[in-house]
Amino acid sequence: MAFTRSRGPVPEQLGFDGMPERLFVCTPSKLGAYVDCPRRYRFSYVDRPTPPKGPPWAHNSLGASVHTALKNWYALQLDRRVPGSLPTLLKATWVREGYRDVDQERVAYRAAQGWLESYAAALEPGDEPLGVERVVATKTSVLAFNGRADRIDGRDGEAVIVDYKTGRSGLDADDARGSQALALYAWAAERVFRRPCHRVELHHLPSGTVAAHEHTAESLARQVKRAEETAQDIMAAERAVAGGADADTEFPVNPGSLCSWCDFRKVCPAGQEAPAREPWAAVEHLSS
Ligand code: SF4
């Protein structure tokens, strides 16, 4: 979605010379990368050329394949939107990268097909979402946010954010409540669709469960404030580096269990402490 800075509902901050300060353009994953590990943020968004990444992850391939199949399913005419259409859609856009071998890939493919068929069978036929893989964008005095929501439903005059999950573990209401990404989507969707948006849902396809949370205006405002604080921290670090400060100091490492799954583990000495994972480690359980 095109984004016009001069037409937002909130006035822009004025810099020291009366010129508007640059807004921090961000997506949920950009903010999340910094919160998880400032060094990972720097590798992804600041250092150019981008440091070499590790090989593709099978679980990312699986997630992308399922998301694309559902997106294309909603693009079908209503009468063709039946579970039986999903195998063809899944096959057409299946991502093959990251699996150990063809046998493992086949197991993952069958699992994905089963998840999709069960999920689609439980959907209300004829329900037309407000948006599928829809970009929603809005801004505050600090940040210009844009993000692509998996699905935005219209229910009882309100917008509802739906996020598909394909990971191993199920999710609960705390995951839905704590997700900054979902809150930011809800906040942006409310403005884009000009209707209330308080409910956010995580749809875990492998278990067929839904974890939901009803936000209030206050809880959404808290998440937006947190996002603004993160944006301000990032901008301060970027300014410091541009002014000659040490980039390693301004974007410190945050080593932990996430390092095992970090694309930049090979170029990050701090990440070497965490055990290496094979690219297919997160889909191995599907074979057992
Ligand atoms: S390997 Fe760990 S410490 Fe290094 S950038 Fe990645 S997440 Fe951060």
- What confidence tens digit (pLDDT) does each residue in 97-108 have? 999 999 999 999
Burial of 36 (0-12, 13-18, 19+ CB in 10 A): middle
Gap between the Cα atoms of 69 and 85, Å rounded: 10
Q: Interior CA angle at 35 toward 29 and 36, to 5°?
A: 85
DSSP state of 34: H
40 C-alpha vs ligand 1 centroid, how far in Å? 6
Q: Residue 281 is encoded by which pair of tokens?
A: 């480690």
Of 259, 260, 267, 273, the one to substitute when testing ligand 1's pocket (max ligand atoms within 8 A of C-beta) is 259
The predicted pLDDT at position 19 comes to 58
State the closest ligand 1 atom to the C-alpha of 269, by its place in the atom list counted from 1. Answer: 4
Task: Determine what percent of the chain is predicted with pLDDT higher than 70.
Answer: 93
Cα–Cα distances in angstroms (integers) from residue 113 to residues 79, 108, 285, in the given order: 20, 9, 16
> Average pLDDT in the 238-255 region?
97
125 C-alpha vs ligand 1 centroid, how far in Å? 44
The pocket around ligand 1, CB under 6 angstroms, is made up of 37, 39-40, 43, 253-255, 258-259, 262, 264-265, 268, 270-271
pLDDT band at 7 (very low <50, low <70, confident <90, very high): very low
Task: Determine what percent of the chain is predicted with pLDDT higher than 90.
Answer: 89
- Atom 7, ligand 1: residue with shortest CA distance: 259
β-strand partners of 194: none
94 C-alpha vs ligand 1 centroid, how far in Å? 29
Q: What backbone torsions phi and psi does residue 81 show, to the nearest 5 degrees?
A: -85, 70
Q: Which amino acid is at 10?
A: V
